[in-house]
Amino acid sequence: MLDVEAALAQAEADAGLVPPPAAAEIAAACQVPLFDMSGIARRAVAAGNPVAPMVRDLTDAVSAGARPYVHLGATSQDIIDTATSLIAHRALGVVLTDVATVADACAALSEEHATTVMTARTLLQPAVPTTFGLKAAAWLVAVDEARAQLDRVRSERLAIQLGGAAGTLATLDENGVDVARRLAERLGLAEPVMPWHTDRTRMAELAAALATTAGVLGKVARDITLLAQAEVAEVAEGEGADHGGSSTLPQKRNPIRAVLIVAAAERAPGFAATILHAMVQEHERAAGAWHAEWETLRELLRLVGGAGGHAVHMLSSLRVDPARMSAHLRSDGGLVMAESLAHRLSREMGQGAARDVVRRCSAESLERRVPFADVVAGDAEVRRHLTDAEIAAALDPAGYLGSAQALIRRARAAHREQP
Amino acid sequence: MLDVEAALAQAEADAGLVPPPAAAEIAAACQVPLFDMSGIARRAVAAGNPVAPMVRDLTDAVSAGARPYVHLGATSQDIIDTATSLIAHRALGVVLTDVATVADACAALSEEHATTVMTARTLLQPAVPTTFGLKAAAWLVAVDEARAQLDRVRSERLAIQLGGAAGTLATLDENGVDVARRLAERLGLAEPVMPWHTDRTRMAELAAALATTAGVLGKVARDITLLAQAEVAEVAEGEGADHGGSSTLPQKRNPIRAVLIVAAAERAPGFAATILHAMVQEHERAAGAWHAEWETLRELLRLVGGAGGHAVHMLSSLRVDPARMSAHLRSDGGLVMAESLAHRLSREMGQGAARDVVRRCSAESLERRVPFADVVAGDAEVRRHLTDAEIAAALDPAGYLGSAQALIRRARAAHREQP
Amino acid sequence: MLDVEAALAQAEADAGLVPPPAAAEIAAACQVPLFDMSGIARRAVAAGNPVAPMVRDLTDAVSAGARPYVHLGATSQDIIDTATSLIAHRALGVVLTDVATVADACAALSEEHATTVMTARTLLQPAVPTTFGLKAAAWLVAVDEARAQLDRVRSERLAIQLGGAAGTLATLDENGVDVARRLAERLGLAEPVMPWHTDRTRMAELAAALATTAGVLGKVARDITLLAQAEVAEVAEGEGADHGGSSTLPQKRNPIRAVLIVAAAERAPGFAATILHAMVQEHERAAGAWHAEWETLRELLRLVGGAGGHAVHMLSSLRVDPARMSAHLRSDGGLVMAESLAHRLSREMGQGAARDVVRRCSAESLERRVPFADVVAGDAEVRRHLTDAEIAAALDPAGYLGSAQALIRRARAAHREQP
Amino acid sequence: MLDVEAALAQAEADAGLVPPPAAAEIAAACQVPLFDMSGIARRAVAAGNPVAPMVRDLTDAVSAGARPYVHLGATSQDIIDTATSLIAHRALGVVLTDVATVADACAALSEEHATTVMTARTLLQPAVPTTFGLKAAAWLVAVDEARAQLDRVRSERLAIQLGGAAGTLATLDENGVDVARRLAERLGLAEPVMPWHTDRTRMAELAAALATTAGVLGKVARDITLLAQAEVAEVAEGEGADHGGSSTLPQKRNPIRAVLIVAAAERAPGFAATILHAMVQEHERAAGAWHAEWETLRELLRLVGGAGGHAVHMLSSLRVDPARMSAHLRSDGGLVMAESLAHRLSREMGQGAARDVVRRCSAESLERRVPFADVVAGDAEVRRHLTDAEIAAALDPAGYLGSAQALIRRARAAHREQP
């Protein structure tokens, strides 16, 4: 908020409304350590916001000649909204750096494990083979989409606010629009078409982009908690000895970064809903809905900032176990290859008949707990159409990956085009 | 969903995977009246979604030769997600038309009432004068921002889904990417980088854009309910005799369009939060979170569609009462002009002294219930600095509108640039 | 709503305000099939709710002598709110029956599997042994707590609404309170202290109880999706051949009831938040927030009703695999018994030293991928303190269950005390 | 958390598991100032919660003989959940005191203004007369209902948590249930049937009660912001000179307490939704959903605590203006008495005809802007049935209040029965 008061005085000096020495004096006084924070907080209740007491203290801190130029033409909401944009701009800088690192880590995993076959799981059940590289590529695309949203909000939508008491810029006479433009330039924020005191689309877009980012990171983290289950054990967080340990359970290796990211994803939608709800703001300044934004946006920025940082650690140190991935594909004698076998057989005997045969073999494997490959190998109808080598090929996960490599290449190419 | 199955068969015919007559036969069979909806609904429980029984019925409906080509290479989620995009694409077409009409109505009001002075209200208290045109211009900018979001989501983010059982497009062998491209072209939807079965950023952006639109319309509607209060009565909904009447209270003129829009804005954030929350989807298909999207998106589209329609009626028939607006500015002898008087006086006696004088006059007016203008006219200190004419000018709302006209022009110019 | 109009006329006849024949005639006319639903829906927009056109049609449907007694003393909100209570009362009856069946199923599982040892999992990692009976007992307690809430809301909080135009019951003169009491009696709903047109605590409690129930069922269902993973496979849904199958993946056995319940639990909180938000209702009838309740409560009732029904099927047919549960406890040579061994050793060598020894053995087992039991058996320090039999006892899951049986008994006892 | 560790050691001493001097030493060491908070916070990341490092520091702080008894039998979640209950218990004590004061203030207003006639407003439009006392009585009932919920949650549902690593209380052998009972007694919290590590109904009920309270206070506050509008001005916040002032608008008297309460009510539902959503917790400890509760509950307690405090100030100092209330009832010549006149006329000419006459008079008054009383006085049909005195009586607000006094008495009687 002090940075905004400083920039406002300087922008008004640029516009010829404030003597440059007064602007310089005001800007010099806008230093956090010079202010009594808890005193301002206490006095904020009567005014309904902290700007009024802060401006009083700032006015007291400058010489009599500069006083008339403090907070000139602004209303409390101008300062708080512009400060919110400024804080969000800075915070999103950090978040974007972390999210870019996360995307790069996904890209690296997608390349390194492009052909590392593993089980694709739908509704938490084995479906068909995929590769860990394709899984990482899907994470990559999602992360890059979230990044694009954050980036757009940061560069286009975080704007200064300057409207005066009720959006007419009345005390700046004819100079309001000019001062607004200069203020935006000074702060590196967007210049709005007009004051947006009760048009909260900007805050809604910020909150939505942050919650979307939390959702994307939460999806990756949820996958990792599932892959890290002892019964699956295909990946593990790898930050070293103490990480994820338990004081009482010495065998524990909790995927704690993933857990904390999932927790963030659990919380973000509630904050986004609050911001979306608070868009219904009365007349020229809301009686409550605006005030509801303040802590909500702060918490949301902190939450996604934290999640981004955890994600960097989680993915940078991720340990992948291709052998376990491969072993799971072979469990139950390759039941996960049932669709592949049906696909191969349908060339010989038609789709309907092929599905019937494979459904019969699958059921027998499941019910009698006999490996699928063994059932298939002993099935007269299958053998009538396919040789041993053809059966083996149809049950080979590496041979049933469809467009996996092409899709990985597309994801990586799209990633390289990200700014 | 049937449109998607039809387009899929045709796209696969284009790609040379399906004989054109088979594709034509399948497409011809994809007619809603030919299907038993409640039967499909009943059988949907066992499969967990309606695609499986629908595909069975579609397969039964075509000749034996076409059967292998029904639903070729697709999984249930491909059909449901593409259908969701398609439905949203169509629904957003309607919403965008309505929202454009709303924006035009705001633009017209901003022009017609550019100089209609009225009270700007902050925290539901009179602040300074503004014009109804500026208020409408602020609505206009917000509506146009929501439109831009909806438009971007519609043209860039609503995409086809095609991934097969788990995103590898395995049963289409090497042709998956090509079929996906052709499917997108046929349906007029975006082509994604890769399947997005568990990357739900697209649905999150759709939900956020819709909830933002509800919020923007809700803000306008809330303002109208407040301006329509009998004690304010500056605007009224004007749809004629029956509209907003009450069976038992014959004097009632309820702003019922505004009320229904506010109700929509109350509900939209909960839906958006559900979609944002449901982004955390497991592996290659979620065990519940995906299913949570279906009715949520449908309800959200209906809700915003309804709100848009109500808003068209509300704004097209809005009755504005400039005389009441003007009267409120004069109530209490123009107390709302206190800032203006202080601004004028500060040129003569400095800001601090000017504020002190005006604060004294304001307090006297409020406490003694004497018109502000009378208190000011009788104040020796004011009279020492200002003539009667100067006082009258400082208390004239039309003379204290700052950049109102420039801002209205900016809003209207930005509106004209909207696609 | 027609049931409410009928009961109102009869209650007013009871109170001597309406001639009994007129009340009887009105009640007889209150039959859904006699009304044109879509016509009422269409005309509802102008009035802002469907009561006004419905009352007009009802009035037209009775003889001239009965007409003055239709809807006597009531306002639209009286009818809609009472109807909402009535519908919720009926729907909760169904939900409570299902939830009681679910609780009984949990109780049966807790008894049958009281000593079926399995792995307790924290943060999705193996922790210590537990029994499936204790897990089912924990589900039982949660389900019974949700039941108690639903039951309390149903019997104490679902109330009639009768206030007239604005809560004064003015057109009933002195008889309002008496009519309200009689109306409550007739409908089997609670009698409120006074009209609650804009006191929405009742609706908030209803929504919270429903969302809590969805959360409880969602927790059980999430556990089942996790236990049903192919890599865990400790339980399965058991509804027969078609259930959870996939058209293209013949090996699939999706836990589809659990998935649909999880989907319900994803959606319920958004509805609850909408109802909680809508509590801020203006003056004597809200301009939008009340209208936001209607579909929200209907959807929430349907959602929880559906989840309850699915849960009955899911739990009644649940297949439990004690052998798999036991096998998981033995995997990695019983690493999950590390705490148990440390607990046993601490009696001999003190807690700190015991933990150090066990931590060392755990780390060695994990890093060298040697079964924990083997590492322990070869550890000189362990052997110095414990005999082979003592080691075996410390590594026996059945011997490290603490208060499991006592807790199961407590849960079952509490269940028997439920009304 | 330290209070919980102290009570646990003491409860275990009571149960004979810990030597009393060791328990005393541990309890004495459980002092916040003795711990390095930021160090614990920093180390909390690796463990995923702050209990592990806190217990390590506590263990280091006691003598070797006491160390084995620190945190005996507990897991991190036992400490955090019990501490959450304890903090909530204390915080609800404060909230309940404030809410009781608010209820008493409403009760006093309902008595003082039992016969202060004012306009009842529905959909923000004048409906019929009511009294400010009845309005305050409706607030009273809502506040008392919220109180009852808070009170029930506080006394019955805030419970200790003690389950050990995964809910079996294994390291306490047979003594777990006994220790749990003693711990509950020592802390004044409820004793649960069994550990509730992943049964979060208690937290859901806490969150719902808090959000309901926020909603109730928000409703009162919203009414006050509306009644305080300059154009209505029937009430005002009365905390003195500085309160609600604006630095730049000297005439401002913002209802700032009400605004801050409305802001709290805007935010609470999002928190409640997060807690309801987080009920879906995996197995014996959740991988994220539990962690999502921590800050959410803290913020919700702070928010409602703040709102309660503001409400005490707002209502204790509320200034009511019966003259303005009365004046509004007379505006437009008493249009708000239309229903009353129709009610009176229907005795003479039947309901249908009476409504037609009054609808005609209302429309004429509204369209020609002639006072309603004048239109009525000049209406031949009205005069045919009613004398001047009868017309005056029908247009007298004080004569058309129905059961207002009886309802106020009921609300106050119910209030007196609150514990």
- C241: pLDDT strictly greater than 70: no
Q: Is residue A317 located within the same domain as residue A250?
A: yes
Q: How confident is the model at residue D393 (pLDDT cuts 50, 70, 90)?
A: very high
Q: Which of A293, A310, A327 delimits the end of a domain?
A: A327
Do the chains contact at C168 and D285, CB–CB below 8 Å? Answer: no
Residue C409 lies in a domain: no
Residue D255 lies in a domain: yes
Residue D407 lies in a domain: no
pLDDT in tens, D12-65: 999 999 999 999 999 999 999 999 999 999 999 888 999 999 999 999 999 999
- A246: pLDDT strictly greater than 80: no
Residue B402 lies in a domain: no
Q: Is residue B174 located within the same domain as residue B323?
A: no
Q: Is residue C47 located within the same domain as residue C101?
A: no
- C100 CA: distance to closest CA in chain D (Å): 17
- Residue D248's nearest CA partner among A285, A173, A37, B358 is B358
C-alpha separations of A402 from A408, B171, B301 in Å: 12, 7, 35
Q: Is residue C40 located within the same domain as residue C96?
A: no
Q: Which of A172, A194, A216 delimits the end of a domain?
A: A194
Q: Is residue B356 located within the same domain as residue B223?
A: no
pLDDT in tens, C14-62: 999 999 999 999 999 999 999 999 999 999 988 899 999 999 999 999 9
One-letter identity of residue B403: S
Q: Where are the beta strands (DSSP E) in C76-229?
A: 117-122, 125-131
Residue B106 lies in a domain: yes
C-alpha separations of D310 from C251, D223, D306 in Å: 62, 15, 6
- C311: pLDDT strictly greater than 70: yes
- A241: pLDDT strictly greater than 70: no
One-letter identity of residue D200: R
CA–CA separation, A283 and A289 (whole Å): 12
pLDDT in tens, A330-365: 988 899 999 999 999 999 998 889 989 999 999 999
**Rg for chain D, CA atoms, rounded:** 30
Q: How confident is the model at residue C253 (pLDDT cuts 50, 70, 90)?
A: confident
Q: Which of D232, D259, D342 lies nearest to residue B231, judging by beta carbons?
A: D232
Q: Which of C243, C245, C287 lies nearest to residue B262, judging by beta carbons?
A: C287
CA–CA separation, C397 and A39 (whole Å): 60
Do the chains contact at B258 and C287, CB–CB below 8 Å? Answer: yes
Average confidence (pLDDT) over B285-296: 98
pLDDT in tens, C329-349: 998 889 999 999 999 999 999
Q: Which long-range contacts (CB under 8 A, 24 or more apart) does C369-372 make?
A: C370/C333, C371/C332, C371/C333, C371/C334, C372/A251, C372/C332, C372/C333, C372/C334, C372/C335, C372/C337, C372/C338
pTM of the model: 0.98
C102, two tokens = 């679910």
Average confidence (pLDDT) over D182-210: 98
Q: Helix D2-14 and helix D51-61: axis angle, to 10°?
A: 60
Q: Looking up tokens 């269409």, which residue turns up? A: C42
**CATH number, residue C347:** 1.10.40.30
Do the chains contact at C124 and A252, CB–CB below 8 Å? Answer: no
Q: Which of A221, A245, A287 lies nearest to residue D225, judging by beta carbons?
A: A287
Give the chains touching D; criterion: ≥3 Cβ pairs < 8 Å: A, B, C
Q: Looking up tokens 């991935």, which residue turns up? A: A325
Q: Helix D176-187 and helix C404-417: axis angle, to 10°?
A: 60
SS3 percent helix, strand, coil of chain A, rounded to 5, is 70, 5, 25
H or E element at residue A398:
none
Q: Is residue C151 located within the same domain as residue C222?
A: yes
- B241: pLDDT strictly greater than 70: no
Q: How far from the centroid of its chain's Cα atoms is residue A395's Cα?
A: 38
Average confidence (pLDDT) over A240-260: 82
Average confidence (pLDDT) over B364-390: 93
How many structural domains is chain A composed of?
A: 3
- D374 CA: distance to closest CA in chain C (Å): 24
- Residue B247's nearest CA partner among D50, C50, A391 is C50
- B247: pLDDT strictly greater than 70: no
- Residue A252's nearest CA partner among A262, A237, A234, A264 is A237
| Residues spanned by the domain of D375 | 335-394
CA–CA separation, B381 and B368 (whole Å): 19
What pLDDT does A72 receive? 95
D320, β-bridge pairs? D235
SS3 percent helix, strand, coil of chain D, rounded to 5, is 70, 5, 25
Q: Is residue C306 located within the same domain as residue C387?
A: no
One-letter identity of residue C81: D
Average pLDDT, chain C: 95
What pLDDT does A415 receive? 98
Do the chains contact at D172 and C350, CB–CB below 8 Å? Answer: no
Do the chains contact at A120 and B168, CB–CB below 8 Å? Answer: yes
Task: Report the residue of B227, B243, B249 to disrupt the D interface, i.e. the one with the largest count of D CBs within 10 Å.
Answer: B249
pLDDT in tens, B206-227: 999 999 999 999 999 999 999 9
**CATH number, residue B226:** 1.20.200.10
Average confidence (pLDDT) over D352-371: 91
Cβ(A10)–Cβ(A186) below 8 Å: yes
DSSP class of residue A153 equals: I
What pLDDT does A89 receive? 98
CA–CA separation, B183 and C180 (whole Å): 62
Active site residue B344: no
- C345 CA: distance to closest CA in chain A (Å): 13
- B250: pLDDT strictly greater than 80: no
> Dmax over Cα atoms in chain B, in whole Å?
101
What pLDDT does C247 receive? 65
Chain B residue numbers with beta carbons less than 8 Å from the beta carbon of C278 are 266
Q: Is residue D118 located within the same domain as residue D244?
A: yes
Q: Is residue D83 located within the same domain as residue D151?
A: yes
Tell me the catalytic residues of C: 246, 285
- A5: pLDDT strictly greater than 90: yes
pLDDT in tens, A31-76: 999 999 999 999 998 889 999 999 999 999 999 999 999 999 999 9
- A211: pLDDT strictly greater than 70: yes
CA–CA separation, B5 and B23 (whole Å): 10
What pLDDT does C418 receive? 87
Q: Is residue C263 located within the same domain as residue C144?
A: yes
B&D contacts, CB < 8 Å: 111
* Residue length of chain A: 419
Residue D315 lies in a domain: yes
Q: Is residue B292 located within the same domain as residue B210?
A: yes
Task: Report the residue of D140, D197, D217, D219 to disrupt the C interface, i.e. the one with the largest count of C CBs within 10 Å.
Answer: D219
Q: How confident is the model at residue D235 (pLDDT cuts 50, 70, 90)?
A: very high
Average pLDDT, chain A: 95
CA–CA separation, D125 and D119 (whole Å): 9
C-alpha separations of B265 from B271, B304, D220, D336 in Å: 11, 8, 21, 30
Average confidence (pLDDT) over A115-127: 97
Do the chains contact at D262 and A288, CB–CB below 8 Å? Answer: yes
Average confidence (pLDDT) over A269-273: 98
- Residue C321 CB burial class (10 angstroms; 0-12, 13-18, ≥19): middle
Chain A residue numbers with beta carbons less than 8 Å from the beta carbon of D262 are 287-289, 291
Residue of B nearest to D331 (CA): B231
Which residue is catalytic, options A154, A157, A285, A412?
A285
Q: Is residue C240 located within the same domain as residue C385?
A: no
Task: Report the residue of B125, B331, B344 to disrupt the D interface, i.e. the one with the largest count of D CBs within 10 Å.
Answer: B125
Q: Looking up tokens 């990792």, which residue turns up? A: A224
DSSP reduced 3-state for C336: helix
- B12 CA: distance to closest CA in chain D (Å): 42
What pLDDT does B200 receive? 98
Active site residue D340: no
- A250: pLDDT strictly greater than 80: no
pLDDT in tens, D114-154: 999 999 999 999 999 999 999 999 999 999 999 999 999 99
Average confidence (pLDDT) over C313-337: 94
D185, HSE (Cβ side, Cα atoms, 13 Å): 11
Average pLDDT, chain D: 95
What pLDDT does B115 receive? 98
CA–CA separation, C351 and D67 (whole Å): 8
CA–CA separation, C208 and C200 (whole Å): 12
- Residue D132's nearest CA partner among D324, D372, D270 is D324
Residue C174 lies in a domain: yes
Q: Which of A232, A252, A366 lies nearest to residue C251, judging by beta carbons?
A: A366
Q: Which of A327, A347, A373 delimits the end of a domain?
A: A327
Residue of C nearest to B252 (CA): C47
Residue B401 lies in a domain: no
D4, two tokens = 């919980």
